[in-house]
Structure 1
Amino acid sequence: MFKVFQLVIDWSEVWALLIPISLLLLKKQPAVLKPVVFYVWIALFINLAIDLTWKIRTILPAEYNSNNYLYNLHSIIRFFLFSLFFIKLNQAFLTTVKKVIPVCFLVFVIINFTFYENFFDYWKLSSRLLSVEAILLLFYTLQYYLFKINDHVGVNIFNSDFWIVTGLGIYVTINFFIFLLYNELTIRMQHFAITLWNAHNISYIIFNLFIAKGFYESRKQ
């Protein structure tokens, strides 16, 4: 029974995305949600490549059986698409900051992978990249709620962007420290690190459930 559960969790980065995608097939989403729509489709193909590479790594040539660079690619794409999503919400709060952050992130990525890390590192994904992405996306989610509070705008739980932002906030909050410490854990406590990644996968399921709820509620907007 445990092996079946573990198999389901192992593939959750793929099948979880099918939940919001199933709703995309039923209804066209509003323009403001287009970055999120692009994200779930792109993430599906990247995560499928990630899991397939891991599952058939023993039969792949040695130079192609690492999927770390795909996690790095996923992180960069996720950040830029969700930062665009927050910008497209047109909340009159920290407007300039929200537009400057993606530029700063791009500079960080270029400097980091030019001088400090190898984007295609065979042995490890970039904890630095993933943790910086998580903290910046957490900033975006917090400023979303601060805008609601400062402008005395009620948080409508039937609003599609509320569900998406909340799901993203849960995901990055749970995973910030996992991302930050993951490489060290794989060196010192490898079995624990592998088990800990289950928490990431479960949070990713929750994230996609919230995205699906957001797509569903867009019908009422």
Structure 2
Amino acid sequence: MEKRDYLFWFLLAQTLINGYAIILDQLLDRPNLYLYHANCALSFLILSAYFRHILTFGRAKSIVFSILFLFSLFFIVNLLLWEDLSTFNSNSFGLASLILVAYCFLYYLENLIYPKPFLITKTRNFWFVTGILTYYASSFFIFITYRSLTEQEIKDIGILWQIHNVVFLVLCVYLLIGYQYKPWP
């Protein structure tokens, strides 16, 4: 894979971090929530780099870099003041979801304002961005409510994570479709 195949690195990170989290939780009966904090930060970093690469209008690259910096500050403050490594990181996951959905809409807006001389649905980035939008928009409410629902000890809370896993599968299908197309220059 190329160095700039951000979605490959995103999927690899998801596989390794979530796989290790499952091993810790189900096989070793050890805490794993700190891995979800790492997953949030690393996923947001990789996907911000991806959007920084594909958004070409005006000051998009500097805007994405600034948002990444501000998110990193929020992530650290959130860990220190509101959520620690032993709780699910609802605040950061929720904020990351909102920002990534906004990035997706910026991508679509850019393609509406500056149409390309080819069919957009025949491009990798269209399918990648559509998958990211589907996943993060669908998971937003799961992310922002999961911590409070687990603290309230809601019965059958695990169903939310099963729904999340189905939405993640949909993301993977979109990414697979995208990988069937050649990257455009």
Say yes or no: does 1:199 pair with 2:167.
Answer: no
Q: How does 1:93-108 map to 2 (within 5 A)?
A: 93-95=58-60, 96-108=62-74
Equivalent residue, structure 2, for 1:140: 103
> Cα deviations across residues 173-210 of structure 1 (Å, max 9, x unaligned)?
11101111111212335333211111100001111111
CA distance in structure 1 between the partners assigned to 2:98 and 2:183 by the alignment: 31
Counterparts in 2 of 1:109 and 1:203: CA distance versus 1, 3 Å:
same
CA distance in structure 2 between the partners assigned to 1:146 and 1:94 by the alignment: 15
What secondary structure does 2:121 align onto? coil
What secondary structure does 1:152 align onto? coil
Equivalent residue, structure 2, for 1:84: 49
> Cα deviations across residues 17-51 of structure 1 (Å, max 9, x unaligned)?
xxxxxxxxxxx45x54x222222222211111011
What secondary structure does 2:181 align onto? helix
Say yes or no: does 1:182 pair with 2:146.
Answer: yes
Q: 1:55 aligns with which of 10, 14, 26?
A: 26
Equivalent residue, structure 2, for 1:16: none
CA distance in structure 2 between the partners assigned to 1:218 and 1:48 by the alignment: 30
> Please, what is the CA RMSD of the aligned residues?
2.0
Equivalent residue, structure 1, for 2:81: 115
Q: Any unmatched runs of 5+ in structure 1? A: 1-27, 59-64
Q: Any unmatched runs of 5+ in structure 2? A: none
CA distance in structure 1 between the partners assigned to 2:170 and 2:119 by the alignment: 20
Identity of aligned residues (%): 21
Q: 1:156 aligns with which of 120, 123, 139?
A: 120
Counterparts in 2 of 1:94 and 1:203: CA distance versus 1, 3 Å:
farther
CA contact (8 A) 1:185 1:192 kept: no
Equivalent residue, structure 1, for 2:31: 66
CA contact (8 A) 1:155 1:162 kept: no
Counterparts in 2 of 1:138 and 1:155: CA distance versus 1, 3 Å:
farther
Displacement of 1:125: 0.9
CA contact (8 A) 1:148 1:155 kept: no
Counterparts in 2 of 1:90 and 1:135: CA distance versus 1, 3 Å:
closer
What secondary structure does 2:122 align onto? coil
Equivalent residue, structure 2, for 1:214: 178
TM-score (norm 2): 0.89
Counterparts in 2 of 1:141 and 1:93: CA distance versus 1, 3 Å:
farther
CA contact (8 A) 2:123 2:183 kept: no
- Higher relative CO (Cα under 8 Å, sequence separation at least 6) belongs to 1
Over alpha carbons, which structure has the higher Rg?
1
